[in-house]
């Protein structure tokens, strides 16, 4: 949804969705390491540094909508003028793992397991990383590349916590919005 003109989106949903139908919108948010990850706090510091410091200048507002779990996503009753047909009273927001939090013994909604190579490839496909690499061509794809440096920090922190290379890292958080049409 972060890439849409939400006013136009809601107008189209008003025409497309049948009475008592549902519009579902979801996203996964920032990078969070599961608390059971070896040396989880240091791993999280490395991931947060990448996202909140290194890549922040390359994060447009549309990306920020997603990483903040759509906290400020324009809704049918907040766009101007409001779009009729989706009452706020029939709206449900279901959120999981904000800030990487999990209940004791719990897991992430997404439960994404990745080794560090897969994590690096996934990060490398992110639009913010692509913009960083365009702005830093002399550093891109070197040991000083933003993803390479972050993965190296995660690897070091994990190993310091007793992690072995064959283990996977669990990460994920998300939100779902459900809108019932009147």
Of 173, 177, 172, whose CA–CA distance to 71 is shortest?
A: 177
- Residue whose token pair is 């290379």: 165
pLDDT tens, N- to C-terminus, the chain (182 residues): 777 889 999 999 999 999 999 999 988 777 888 888 888 899 999 999 999 999 999 999 888 888 888 999 999 999 999 999 999 999 999 887 777 778 877 777 666 678 889 889 989 999 999 999 999 999 999 999 999 999 999 999 988 887 766 666 666 667 788 888 87
- The enclosing H or E element of 148 equals helix 146-160
Whole-prediction pTM: 0.77
Identify the residue whose tokens are 């390359």: 58
How distant, in Å, are the alpha carbons of 36, 59, 108, 130, 168 from that of 104? 10, 32, 11, 36, 20
Domains and their CATH numbers in the chain: 6-180 (3.40.50.150)
């Amino acid at each position: 949804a972060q890439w849409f003109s939400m006013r136009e989106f809601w107008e189209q949903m008003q025409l497309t969705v049948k009475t008592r139908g549902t519009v579902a919108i979801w996203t996964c948010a920032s990078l969070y390491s599961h608390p059971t990850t070896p040396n989880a706090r240091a791993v999280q510091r490395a991931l947060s540094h990448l996202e909140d410091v290194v890549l922040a200048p390359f994060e447009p507002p549309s990306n920020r909508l997603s990483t903040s779990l759509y906290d400020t996503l324009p809704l049918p009753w907040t766009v101007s003028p409001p779009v009729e047909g989706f009452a706020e009273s029939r709206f449900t927001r279901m959120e999981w793992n904000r800030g990487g939090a999990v209940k004791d013994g719990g897991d992430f909604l997404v439960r994404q397991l990745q080794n560090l190579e897969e994590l690096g490839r996934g990060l490398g496909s992110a639009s913010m990383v692509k913009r960083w690499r365009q702005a830093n061509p002399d550093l891109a794809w070197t040991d000083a590349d933003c993803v390479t440096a972050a993965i190296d920090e995660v690897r070091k922190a994990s190993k310091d916590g007793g992690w072995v290379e064959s283990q996977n890292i669990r990460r994920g958080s998300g939100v779902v919005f459900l809108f019932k049409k009147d």
